[in-house]
């Protein structure tokens, strides 16, 4: 399944795989360039969670970031 990833700055990488987290509100997305990002699911658009557009080099790193955000903000 390929979906559009909307990121500010005009980039639109293609998601080649994803895992839904937090009841489907967020997802770990793997792009066609083998970049993992933590995204917020909004209808048909994935939106990058972090304003800094931080990408993660591994799923374990992204999961750690997700859990840290969840613990910090209680979402």
Q: Which residues lie below 8 Å from residue 23, measured CB to CB, with a gap of 6+?
A: none
Counting residues of the chain whose pLDDT is more than 70, the rounded percentage is 49
Q: Determine the pLDDT at residue 44.
A: 54
Q: Which residues lie below 8 Å from residue 12, measured CB to CB, with a gap of 6+?
A: 4, 5, 6
Cα 71 from Cα 69, distance rounded (Å): 6
CA-closest candidate to residue 13, choices 51, 42, 55: 55
Instruction: Render pLDDT for 38-48 as a digit per residue (tens, 0 to 9).
Output: 777 765 555 55
Q: Determine the pLDDT at residue 22.
A: 80
């Amino acid at each position: 399944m390929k979906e559009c990833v909307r990121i500010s700055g005009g980039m639109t990488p293609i998601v080649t795989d994803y895992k839904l987290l937090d009841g489907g509100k967020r997802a770990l997305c793997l792009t066609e360039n083998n970049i993992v990002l933590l995204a917020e699911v909004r209808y048909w658009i994935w939106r990058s969670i972090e304003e800094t557009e931080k990408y993660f080099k591994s799923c374990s790193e992204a999961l750690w970031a997700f859990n840290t955000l969840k613990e910090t903000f209680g979402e």
